Each structure stands twice: as structure tokens, then as C-alpha cells.
């Protein structure tokens, strides 16, 4: 599924402070965009704008040349969003969390879910309540969604949080492979990526500060 996501003259104000303005960007299949900048520069806000979770203060977001706000169902079919928090329910098991999350847009079989959990190193933890898992294991539960039948656009806020060295290397390789296969990744991270696909570029929001 191909798409063209574009920001034109984008501005974002939070708590009466303009974080950035006059921001232009384009995203195509194969792109990886790493959003960087100092704390408070609007990195998470930009990701939420691209994911349709916020409205810009000024400017436009376009999906295939049409306003993004008018295409929420189309965007939902394109998008996998994982925020800074793991976004899982403590009282549910790893398997139950993924079943619930997938049911919102792309239902998955238990076999596929167990395979995704195995891919992130959680074989044997399928039926374990998530409140008993470590922070790194909870992060892996959330990231297991990337190993299911997933949409092409991944927007990820600090996805490497709480991962060990092995987990970081595995996730880097998986993100690069997604882009090399025609997918798109937008992410924030303080981690210096070692594996970058051909379509990699960095956007430093400090350069767009108001």
C-alpha cells in the first residue's frame, strides 16, 4: 500500500508556547525519518500530528494530496502507532494485550501472536500477566506488534526505551528491513542508530524553533 504523507508550513503550539513553525516534510514508502532535537522542541507533538492525534496550530497535513483530517479511516489502515509508554494493560497477559490491540484494526490469530512474542524473545511468557514483567519485557510486548501483519507506516516514540543491547540491535534491523521492503518509519530516539536504510534522514526540530 503506497501513500504520500506531507506537511506544509506546519506549526505547533503547546501551553501557550510555539514549539516549531514553517515546517515542511514529505514521507514516501522506503523512508525512515528520525526526529531529533532538544527536550521540549516538540518531537512527540510532531509524531502525534503525523498520526492524526492532534491538530496543527497552523499549516496543513496532507495524505495523497488531500487533508489528513478528512481521511481518518484511510490513515488508520496505514498506521501503526506506539507511544513513549508501552501502552499495555498490566492485568492482561502478553497474549491478551496483543489480541486486544490487534482487534482494533487488524485481528490476529493466537498462532501469529505467539510467533510475534517469540520473535521479540518472549517465548514462554505468553500467559504471564504483564504487571509481573520487567520494563524491558513490557516494551517487547508492545513492539511485538511490529512482527504481526502490520500496516506500512510505523510512527514510534522512543521505541528503544528499556531494551537491552540485543533488543536494540534486533529492533534496528527490523526497522531497516521494513523500510527496505517499502514501509515507512518515523521515530524519535536518543539512541544513535547503527543500522540505517537507504531512505534514512534526520529532522532536527531545533532548526524549526519559533
* Range(s) of the domain holding residue 42: 5-208
* Res. 115: pLDDT tops 70: yes
- Residues 169-186 pLDDT 10s: 999 999 999 999 999 999
The structural domain count of the chain equals 1
Residue 104 pLDDT level (bands cut at 50, 70, 90): confident
Q: Using CA atoms, how far apart are residues 114 and 131, in angstroms rounded to an integer?
A: 19
Helices (H) and strands (E) in the chain, counts: 6, 9
From the list 143, 142, 155, the residue with the least C-alpha distance to 183 is 155
Closest of 142, 64, 60, 140 to residue 102, by C-alpha: 142
* Distance of alpha carbon 181 from alpha carbon 12, whole angstroms: 32
Q: How far apart are CA 173 and CA 117, in angstroms?
A: 17
> What was the pLDDT predicted at 202?
96
Give the CATH number, domain containing residue 113: 3.40.50.300
Q: Is 126 exposed, middle or buried (0-12, 13-18, 19+ CB in 10 A)?
A: middle
Is the pLDDT reported for residue 105 higher than 80?
Answer: no
Task: Assign 84 to helix, strand or coil.
Answer: coil
- pLDDT at res. 30: 97
**Contact (CB, 8 A) for 25 and 203:** yes
| pTM confidence score | 0.95
Q: pLDDT digits over 31-42, tens only? A: 999 999 999 899
Amino acid at each position: 500500500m503506497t501513500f504520500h504523507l506531507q506537511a506544509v508550513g506546519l506549526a505547533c503550539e503547546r501551553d501557550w508556547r510555539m514549539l516549531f513553525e514553517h515546517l515542511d516534510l514529505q514521507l514516501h514508502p522506503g523512508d525512515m525519518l528520525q526526529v531529533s532535537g532538544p527536550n521540549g522542541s516538540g518531537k512527540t507533538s510532531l509524531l502525534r500530528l503525523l498520526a492524526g492525534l492532534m491538530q496543527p496550530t497552523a499549516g496543513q497535513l496532507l495524505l495523497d494530496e488531500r487533508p489528513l483530517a478528512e481521511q481518518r479511516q484511510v490513515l488508520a489502515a496505514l498506521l501503526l502507532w506506539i507511544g513513549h509508554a508501552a501502552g499495555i494493560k498490566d492485568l492482561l497477559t502478553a497474549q491478551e494485550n496483543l489480541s486486544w490491540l490487534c482487534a482494533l484494526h487488524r485481528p490476529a490469530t493466537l498462532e501469529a501472536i505467539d510467533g510475534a512474542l517469540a520473535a521479540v524473545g518472549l517465548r514462554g511468557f505468553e500467559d504471564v500477566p504483564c504487571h509481573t514483567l520487567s520494563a524491558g519485557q513490557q516494551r517487547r510486548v508492545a513492539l511485538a506488534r511490529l512482527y504481526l501483519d502490520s500496516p506500512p507506516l510505523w510512527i514510534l516514540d522512543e521505541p528503544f526505551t528499556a531494551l537491552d543491547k540485543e533488543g536494540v540491535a534486533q529492533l534496528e534491523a527490523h526497522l531497516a528491513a521494513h523500510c527496505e521492503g517499502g514501509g515507512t518509519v518515523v521515530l524519535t530516539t536518543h539512541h544513535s542508530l547503527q543500522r540505517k536504510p537507504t531512505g534514512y534522514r534526520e529532522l532536527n526540530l531545533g532548526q524549526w524553533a519559533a
